[in-house]
Amino acid sequence: MSIRLRVARVIAETADAVTLELVAEGRRPAYRPGQFLTLRIPSDRTGSVARSYSLSSAPHEDGPLKVTVKRTQGGYGSNWLCDNAAEGMELESLPPAGVFTPASLDDDLLLLAAGSGITPVLSIAKSALAQGNGRCTLVYANRDERSVIFAAELAELARAHPERLTVVHWLETVQGLPTAAQLRTLIEPWADRAVFVCGPEPFMDAVEWAATELGVDRVHSERFVSITGDPFAPVPTADDSSEDVAAVTVEIDGETHEFGWPRETVLLDVLLARGVEAPYSCREGACSACVCRLRDGEVKMLRNDVLEKEDLADGYVLACQAIPVTDTVRITYD
């Protein structure tokens, strides 16, 4: 399922962040605003590592895919790309994935980002302004003016949509690190909107606390965990020899599949082994790319680092971590 991408251009956004313009072989992959790519990055020690980077381009825009990468201290993938990515280089990628995307671009949105967390948030904002009719408020926190990624593009968007886009910058050198209490006061006028947040863990935790204090039902958070395995490894072959199987029905891309599900095998491996092109990225329960919905039956997840209690209550599960509990299970990919 991997795709080949050629680096068409490398754009220096700030002193420690670059945007890679990527051109796919053949047709450009479809994606939704807020989704990410998982790239295979060469490594002298392990051969390669896999890292996920959000798309800063928007689906309606013509031209290449764009991912924006900011150096992180001790981060192998981000430093390798910032130091080595060059025009003409080819990279292997998994298809666009992720669920950090609005249900409707017509909704009023409250978007919060810190540092490189602006990447998926920018894609959402551009899409909503171009293809929806709702209003957007963006709160963007950075260390100082020089570290503001997409400063010019955000200013231009605000000029082009003065009635629909409000951008609030928070600079640590001027205002200090934003506290949860300060964020609560700041976002209160827009607390009735759909909330999306991406950035360092402390910032997202502070936003989620502030939103909870204001009675916000749901905060959509994008949290990345470094992938330790190899999601590019060959998919397992189907094992039909097990006698301990559940019966599973899976609805995906307008098709219905029915087969036996060995109880010790996660759903994603069963689907891939049977040639079903189910979405995935990390295969470790850390990214939500493989999320699907349990309609009937019961499953157990071996690991879950991303789905929140509201997601679980709505029946969402991770295909890469789900094993059957009941004898029959029905799954859909919405």
Structure tokens at 264: 């010790």
- Which amino acid, residue 12? A
Per-residue pLDDT at 47: 78
This prediction has a pTM of 0.86
Per-residue pLDDT at 283: 87
Per-residue pLDDT at 233: 76
Residue among 38, 2, 99 at smallest CA distance from 317: 99
257 vs 227: which has the higher pLDDT: 257
Does 230 have pLDDT greater than 90?
Answer: no
In angstroms, rounded to a whole number, what is the distance separating the alpha carbons of residues 68 and 99? 18
In angstroms, rounded to a whole number, what is the distance separating the alpha carbons of residues 185 and 211? 10
- SS3 letters for the chain? CCEEEEEEEEEEEECCEEEEEEEECCCCCCCCCCCEEEEEEEECCCEEEEEEEEECCCCCCCCCEEEEEECCCCCHHHHHHHHHCCCCCEEEEEEEECCCCCCCCCCCEEEEEEHHHHHHHHHHHHHHHHHCCCCEEEEEEECCHHHCCCHHHHHHHHHHCCCCEEEEEEEHHHHCCCCHHHHHHHHHHHCCCEEEEECCHHHHHHHHHHHHHCCCCCEEEECCCCCCCCCCCCCCCCCCCCCCEEEEEEEECCEEEEEEEECCCCHHHHHHHCCCCCCCCCCCCCCCCCEEEEEECCEEECCCCCCCHHHHHCCEEECCCEEECCCEEEEECC
How high is the mean pLDDT of the chain?
92
Band of pLDDT at residue 25, cut at 50, 70 and 90: confident
Per-residue pLDDT at 237: 64
Does 240 have pLDDT greater than 80?
Answer: no
Per-residue pLDDT at 71: 93
Structure tokens at 79: 């430093």
Per-residue pLDDT at 99: 85
Band of pLDDT at residue 287, cut at 50, 70 and 90: confident
Structure tokens at 315: 């029946």
List of domains in the chain: 3-97 (2.40.30.10), 109-222 (3.40.50.80), 245-332 (3.10.20.30)
Band of pLDDT at residue 242, cut at 50, 70 and 90: low
Per-residue pLDDT at 45: 73
Band of pLDDT at residue 238, cut at 50, 70 and 90: low
Digit-coded pLDDT (tens) for 109-132: 999 999 999 999 999 999 999 999
Mean pLDDT of 75-98: 93
Per-residue pLDDT at 226: 67
- Say if strands 194-198 and 219-222 run parallel, antiparallel, or are unpaired: parallel
Residue position matching structure tokens 């998926």? 120
| Residues 231 and 278: beta-carbon distance below 8 Å | no
Least confident stretch, 29-33, 129-133, 141-145, 243-247: 243-247
Residue among 248, 256, 252, 259 at smallest CA distance from 326: 248
Per-residue pLDDT at 187: 97
Digit-coded pLDDT (tens) for 293-324: 999 999 999 999 888 888 899 999 999 999 99
Band of pLDDT at residue 236, cut at 50, 70 and 90: low
Residue among 112, 136, 291, 268 at smallest CA distance from 205: 112
For 89, list phi and psi in degrees, rounded to 5.
-65, 145
53 burial class (0-12, 13-18, 19+ CB within 10 angstroms)? buried
Structure tokens at 266: 């996660």
In angstroms, rounded to a whole number, what is the distance separating the alpha carbons of residues 123 and 133? 16
Digit-coded pLDDT (tens) for 39-53: 999 887 777 889 999
| Residues 150 and 13: beta-carbon distance below 8 Å | yes
| Residues 317 and 301: beta-carbon distance below 8 Å | yes
Q: What percent of the chain has pLDDT over 70?
A: 97
Digit-coded pLDDT (tens) for 128-170: 999 999 999 999 999 999 999 999 999 999 999 999 999 999 9
Dihedral angle over CA of 160, 67, 18, 3, nearest 10: -150
